[in-house]
Structure 1
């Protein structure tokens, strides 16, 4: 195997390992967690929206995502799709 192939393979493994949107992290979510705790686990969300103390944030893309609904900055409900 050439050095270039090894470098490319290593990069692919690193990029996969850096993806925080996965089943393992999803299983660590719990109702009542703070936004800070969630962002330490999943990183910054792709998008957030809300009003009047309620908000909804999403991590990932159309195929693989985690969506979390907050009340007063604490996890109320969460769901995921396409997680590996």
Structure 2
């Protein structure tokens, strides 16, 4: 039982340290490279590529997330859901 509480507590601490915040989202700018984006919000959870464009999502598609589309290595579109 103690182990369960330790795991739940660690999960809460990690979620409190998330880089997926409204403040960090507002730091993102068009033209930034994926490396520059990752310096602000960390590595993406999922990326897909189609016809020279790359779409990456940070967070979960069902919950809090940031989605960025890159053409070449430059960010071109941004969207977010559930950020506070």
Task: Report the TM-score, using the length of structure 1 for normalisation.
Answer: 0.79
Is 2:55 the counterpart of 1:53? no
Counterparts of 1:48 and 1:12, CA distance in 2 = 24
SS in 2 for 1:44: coil
* 1:27 counterpart residue number: 26
SS of the counterpart of 2:27?
Answer: coil
- Secondary structure of the residue that 1:40 maps to in structure 2? helix
Moved segments of 4+, more than 2 Å:
10-17
Between the aligned partners of 1:70 and 1:12, the Cα distance in structure 2 is 31
Checking the alignment, whether the CA contact within 8 Å between 1:21 and 1:83 is kept in structure 2 is yes
Q: Which residue of 2 aligns with 1:70?
A: 70
Quote the offset at 1:16 in angstroms: 4.3
Q: Identify unmatched segments of 5+ residues in structure 1.
A: 1-9
Q: For the aligned residues, what is the CA RMSD?
A: 1.9
Change (3 A) 1:73 1:82: same
**Equivalent position SS for 1:19:** coil
Larger Rg: 1
TM-score, length-scaled by structure 2 = 0.79
